[in-house]
Amino acid sequence: MLNEKIIKIKNKFYETATKKSGKNSFQGFEYFELKDFLPDLVKLMAEEEVNDIFTIKDEYATLKLIHKNETNEYTIPFVMFDVPLNKHGKDSMQKIQYLGALSTYYKRYLYMNAFSITENDKIDAMNNDELNTAPESSKNKTEKKSQKKYTEKEIREKSIEIISKYEEFFKKEVNDLTEKGAFQLEDVPTDNLKKLAAFMKDKIKNDKDLQEVIRKKGA
């Protein structure tokens, strides 16, 4: 009975045409924030007499969906990272704010999983170059340049170096990447780091005003 209720809620939700307010500018896609879909889900769950309980306990974040005597449980390990530091080496936010950001992240994940809410999180292949390959010198300019492949470790290190260097000029993009500070750069997948680093380099290369600002800042 509960599973039938959940299916009905899913079908009704798909008809709501809920809009995505989250924007990942450097990867070029929109995504659902918790506030986008939770109000609609709460309303639909009430119509189907399904209660929801979200808890964080014993190193696990758990979402329970309940209808009468039936319960479906969705669980994910809860990892508590240290509060991210700012460029001055101090906590970038109060611990309570950080816990709130983590809670929102896990809650969003569990609700989307329980109700099969999908979104376009495809990462396009990078065209940039410096993070992927390094051209070797050639005596003959007509010869095709050979390229050396970087290891994943080298790509991560180079990407983090670029992002850290220009972070203050791309605060929104870095927030998108780290889920508004919920994660440190070291915890972000390599492809995402590589994509943001390439975005930064391309933006700086083609924006003379930004180049001037960076020059004055001495970055």
pLDDT digits (tens, 9 = 90+) for 45-88: 999 999 999 998 888 899 999 999 999 999 988 776 555 555 55
Half-sphere exposure of 103 (CA within 13 A, CB side): 10
Asked whether the beta carbons of 83 and 91 are under 8 A apart, the reply is yes
User: pLDDT by residue (tens digit) across 116-129?
Assistant: 887 654 333 333 33
- Of residues 51 and 202, which shows the higher confidence score? 51
Task: Classify the phi-psi angles of 49: left when phi > 0, otherwise alpha if psi is within -120 to 50, otherwise beta.
Answer: left
pTM of the model: 0.54
Q: Measured between alpha carbons, how far is 48 from 94 in angstroms, rounded to an integer?
A: 39
Ranges of H-type helices in the chain: 2-14, 34-47, 95-114, 152-166, 171-177, 190-206, 208-217
Residue 71 is predicted with a pLDDT of 96
Asked whether the beta carbons of 204 and 166 are under 8 A apart, the reply is yes
Find the mean pLDDT for residues 34-52.
95
Q: Measured between alpha carbons, how far is 114 from 65 in angstroms, rounded to an integer?
A: 9
Q: Measured between alpha carbons, how far is 149 from 134 in angstroms, rounded to an integer?
A: 7
